[in-house]
Structure 1
Amino acid sequence: MNKFLIFFVAIALSCGNNVNKSKDLSENKKDLKTETVQKDMLLGDFSKEELQQKPFSNWFQPAYEDFSPNSEAMATIRENIDDYEIKVLMGTWCGDSKREVPKFLKLLDEANYDYQKLELVAVDRNKTTPNKVEEELEVHRVPTIIFYKDGKEVNRFVEYPQGQSIEEDIAKIVSGKEYKNSYAD
C-alpha cells in the first residue's frame, strides 16, 4: 500500500511539472511571435537610413523617389525650415506614415535641412513608444510632425495634408501662415 501511495504521489507531481513546462513553452512561442513582429516594425528613436533598409525600403524608396514637390512651396520651405527643430512620430506599419514621411524627408533633403535638428520616433500599433514620448506630446495619430522654434511648439502636421499637398502644408507652417491640422481645436 505504501508503494502504491508513493507511486501515485510521484505521478501526480510529475504531471504538475509538465503543465508548468507546457505553459512556459506557450509563453516562449508568444514571445517569439512578438519578436518577429518587432523585426518588421521600428520602435523608438530611429534614423532615415533605417527606412532605407529592408523591409522598410520596399515602401520608402519608391515613395521618396517618385515624389516631386511643388516648386513654389519648396522655395518657401528652403527659406524658412532652418529656423525649426522637428520631431516626427510615425508608424512603419501605418499607411498614412508610409505615404507622408518619405515625402517629408525628401522635402528636408531638398532644403538641405540639418538632420541634427530632426528627431524620428517610431510608435507601435497602439501608438506607444518604450519611453512614452507620445503621452508627453499628446500624439494620438500618425504621422505627427511637430515644429519647434526657440524650444516652443509652433504647429504640427497630423496624418494627412489639409491643402493640396504636404509641401503646401509645411510651407504654411514654416512661413508662419495660419494653419490648422484636422484635429486642432
Structure 2
Amino acid sequence: MILTGKLQPDTLKELNEFKPFYSEYQTDNTILEPMRKLSQAVNIIVIIGTWCSDCHREVARFIRIIETLKLNNKHNIHVTYLGVDRLKQDPEKRAQHYTFTQIPTFIIKQDGQELGRIVESPTDSLEVDLVNMLNR
C-alpha cells in the first residue's frame, strides 16, 4: 500500500509492514534523557515511502521513540510525516519543499534552522543521532 501526503503516526504503526518493528523496538531511555530537557521546540519532518523496507524499520522505531518522549510530558517535539510515492512525490507537493534523494529522511529543525538529517538509516542509532544533532 502506498500512502502519500501528510500521514499520522497511528496510521503508520498499524500497517502490517510497520507493526513488528514498532512493537519489538525498545527505546534507550538513558540516551533520550537530554531530549527530555529541551528548552526550545524542535520540528522534525519525516519523509517516508510506505512501500520502502528501510522506512518500515526506521520510521516505526522513530514513532516509538517519540511516543516514549511524549509519555514523559515532552511536548515540544513536533513531527510531520510526509508520505511519497515511488517517484518520491506527493499530491500536495509538500515533500518537494525539502531537498532529498533517499528515504526515509528525517530533517531536524530548530528555530527555522536545519540542525541535521538522518538519511536511510542512523549512523549509531536513532536516539544517539537525534541527541547528537540537538546538542551541537
- Matched residue, 1:99: 57
Rg larger in 1 or in 2? Answer: 1
After TM superposition, give the deviation of residue 159 of structure 1 in Å: 0.7
Aligned: 1:80 with 2:38: yes
- The answer to which structure, 1 or 2, has the higher relative contact order (CA under 8 A, 6+ apart) is 2
Aligned: 1:137 with 2:98: yes
2:134 maps to amino acid: V
- Matched residue, 2:132: 172
CA distance in 1 between counterparts of 2:39 and 2:126 reads: 14
After TM superposition, give the deviation of residue 116 of structure 1 in Å: 8.1
Decide whether aligned partners of structure 1 residues 80 and 94 sit closer, same or farther in structure 2, where only a CA change above 3 A counts: same
- Tell whether the 8 Å contact from 1:91 to 1:123 is kept in structure 2 after alignment: yes
Equivalent position to 2:7, from 25, 46, 65: 46
After TM superposition, give the deviation of residue 76 of structure 1 in Å: 2.2
- Matched residue, 2:111: 150
1:172 maps to amino acid: N
Equivalent position to 1:69, from 27, 50, 65: 27
- Matched residue, 1:161: 122
CA distance in 1 between counterparts of 2:109 and 2:31 reads: 19
When you count strand as a share of all residues, which structure comes out higher? 2
When you count helix as a share of all residues, which structure comes out higher? 1
CA distance in 2 between counterparts of 1:133 and 1:64 reads: 25
Equivalent position to 1:89, from 47, 63, 79: 47
After TM superposition, give the deviation of residue 118 of structure 1 in Å: 1.6
Normalised by the length of structure 1, the TM-score is: 0.65
Q: Deviations over 1:133-166 (max 9, x none)?
A: 3332111111111111112222111111112x21
Give the number of equivalent residue pairs: 133
